[in-house]
Amino acid sequence: SAADHRAIDEGLGRIAGEIAAGAFPFSAQLEDIHMNIEARLKDLIGAPALRLHTARSRNDQVAVDFRLWCRKAADEAAAAIDALQRALLAQAERHADWVMPGYTHLQIAQPVTLGHHLLAYVEMLERDCTRFIDASARMNECPLGAAALAGTPYPIDRDMTAEALGFARPTANSLDSVSARDFALETLATAAICASHLSRLAEEIVLWTSPHFGFAALTDAFSTGSSIMPQKKNP
């Protein structure tokens, strides 16, 4: 009924506020987050709280929460990479004609420009950004309605719930909806590849700011001293 809907909506809003404020009375006796919320909602609004799980299972709720979290992480990573690329591009343009040695095996090999060197990282990061965007697009399907594994007999509108949560569409197969975890592995793999590129960039900054190279200098904001050797300035 409309009254039950209003009561559940208001009750969940209050619970969200309690969780955000660190005031929610979690109980280990209630098994998991779902049962804790349902029990608290029942305390707040009574019997209507028992309708909270209608046409829902913990299985499809966990699946949708997991996808939402991974999708947000992938989208935020893509945005952060884009910002880093813009910074690298600006430096590459500024130093387009600055000639520097290119190295192999830490031996001087061929002349390059600093701009060309920095653009190598822009290319690496472009692949990383594309991978995060692709991963986000692949996981952008809503599992709600799959229930435990075979759907629900209730006449729900899966397109509506998918749209409300910002998904492109509902998932196509209920069993796959609640069992798939490859989207998380894809996100992790993409993050690992990106981390290898960021590690390369960080290590070059360490090398370039060392006394042996002296190509660059870091401000104190990005450096620290040694606990015993006052002449050191560590990146």
Tens digit of each residue's pLDDT (9 = 90 or more) over 153-170: 999 999 999 999 999 999
Q: Tell me the whole-structure pTM to 2 decimals.
A: 0.90
Instruction: Report pLDDT digits (tens) over 100-136.
Output: 999 999 999 999 999 999 999 999 999 999 999 999 9
What CA–CA distances, in Å, run from 116 to 91, 100, 111, 145, 158? 10, 10, 11, 51, 50
pLDDT confidence of residue 123: 99
**One CATH from 3.30.390.50, 3.40.50.720, 1.10.3720.10, 1.10.275.10 for 1-53:** 1.10.275.10
Confirm whether 34 is a catalytic residue. no
pLDDT confidence of residue 214: 93
Confirm whether 117 is a catalytic residue. no
Q: Where are the domains of the chain?
A: 1-53, 57-234
Pick the catalytic residue from 1, 105, 212, 227: 105
**57-234 fold:** Fumarase C; Chain A, domain 2 (1.20.200)
Pick the catalytic residue from 196, 210, 223, 226: 226
How does DSSP assign 86-112, residue by residue? HHHHHHHHHTTT-EEEEEETTEEEEEE
In the predicted model, is pLDDT for residue 216 greater than 90?
yes
Instruction: Report pLDDT digits (tens) over 175-207.
Output: 999 999 999 999 999 999 999 999 999 999 999
Q: What is the mean pLDDT of residues 12-16?
A: 97
In the predicted model, is pLDDT for residue 64 greater than 90?
yes
> What is the pLDDT confidence band of residue 149, given thresholds at 50, 70 and 90?
very high
Mean per-residue pLDDT of the chain: 96
pLDDT confidence of residue 190: 99
> What is the pLDDT confidence band of residue 1, given thresholds at 50, 70 and 90?
confident
